[in-house]
Structure 1
């Protein structure tokens, strides 16, 4: 069985696709960026050089729309939305 931290995830935005994974369950490691079809590589990183999301923003600031989408997917994975029928109860 594959460890959930090793599971590759894909996020698309602005005609680009980021491949990323969770590192230590709370950090985002960027593996590669391709066009949305996955055919044309934009940038890829070696296993010893995976930048985290903040580093990727610094290296490739022109991809901010994609980095924002990755961050959104990350938080959705970590803290899934509450079901509509669930209500807060104040005591």
Structure 2
């Protein structure tokens, strides 16, 4: 990516440190690290006490989550779409 795109990504990340998506009865809390989407928690959209946080310094990226939970493909697609909409120029 060029420097202008990298700068824009850094500006947007500073404004929006985390985002959340709900789909298929699940909610994923995610953030951007560099050029990677990291999922920091996955929980039921109906029962917020049922949360699976990823406590490591480097939570799993979106590709890892697609492999672990392929049945949530609509959720992962929504996150990828939002990432592209916010961080990549048209």
* TM-score normalised by L of structure 2: 0.71
Are 1:41 and 2:37 counterparts?
Answer: no
Counting helix residues as a fraction of each chain, which structure ranks higher?
A: 2
Pairs within 5 Å for 1:56-75: 56-75=65-84
Structure number with greater Rg is 1
Q: Any runs of at least 4 consecutive aligned residues in structure 1 with deviations exceeding 6 A, and if so which?
A: none
CA contact (8 A) 1:20 1:29 kept: yes
Q: RMSD of aligned C-alpha atoms?
A: 2.4
Range moving further from structure 2, 33-42 or 48-57:
33-42
Are 1:78 and 2:87 counterparts?
Answer: yes
CA distance in 2, matches of 1:23, 1:5: 14
* TM-score normalised by L of structure 1: 0.70
Gaps of 5+ in 1: 82-91
Question: Higher RCO, 1 or 2 (CA under 8 Å, sep at least 6)?
Answer: 2
Gaps of 5+ in 2: 1-12
Q: Structure 1 23/60 Cα, relative in aligned 2: closer, same or farther at 3 Å?
A: same
